[in-house]
Amino acid sequence: MDAIEKRARKLLDTELRKLGLHEDAYHVGCGADLDRNDQAAINAIAAALTPPEGFVLVPVDLEQGLRMWQAGIKARNTGGTVEAIYAAMIAARPEVTP
């Protein structure tokens, strides 16, 4: 089970518990085999958590981003400020609609 499926199972477990379906939630959360409905829900959640092909996740918080690519900041030969470059990166991400 990969990290995305684990996260999907945790999210489905939480939602099932909110509905009072504790036995179903336990079954999903413990890593057991799933019935078709639960597996379909896990697949949909995992797809929603997976970035589109060609995209990667980036932090929205500038400080987190700066820590991630601190080595690249030292070579600021791009002509733009770090803030402008980071704003352009965030603007390039795909829109997420509920």
- As for how many domains the chain has, the answer is 2
Backbone angles phi, psi at 28, to 5 degrees: -70, -45
What's the whole-number mean pLDDT along residues 15-29? 91
Asked if residue 42 and residue 19 are part of one domain, the reply reads yes
Distances (CA, A) of 1 to 4, 6, 33: 8, 7, 11
Whether 54 maps to a domain, the answer reads no
The amino acid at 71: A
Whether 56 maps to a domain, the answer reads no
Whether 35 maps to a domain, the answer reads yes
DSSP-derived letter for residue 52 is P
Domain that holds residue 73: 62-91
Asked if residue 67 and residue 45 are part of one domain, the reply reads no
34-70 residue pLDDT tens: 889 889 999 999 999 888 887 777 667 777 666 656 5
In this structure, what token pair is assigned to residue 48?
A: 């929603």
Q: Is the pTM of this model over 0.85?
A: no
Residue with tokens 């697949």: 43
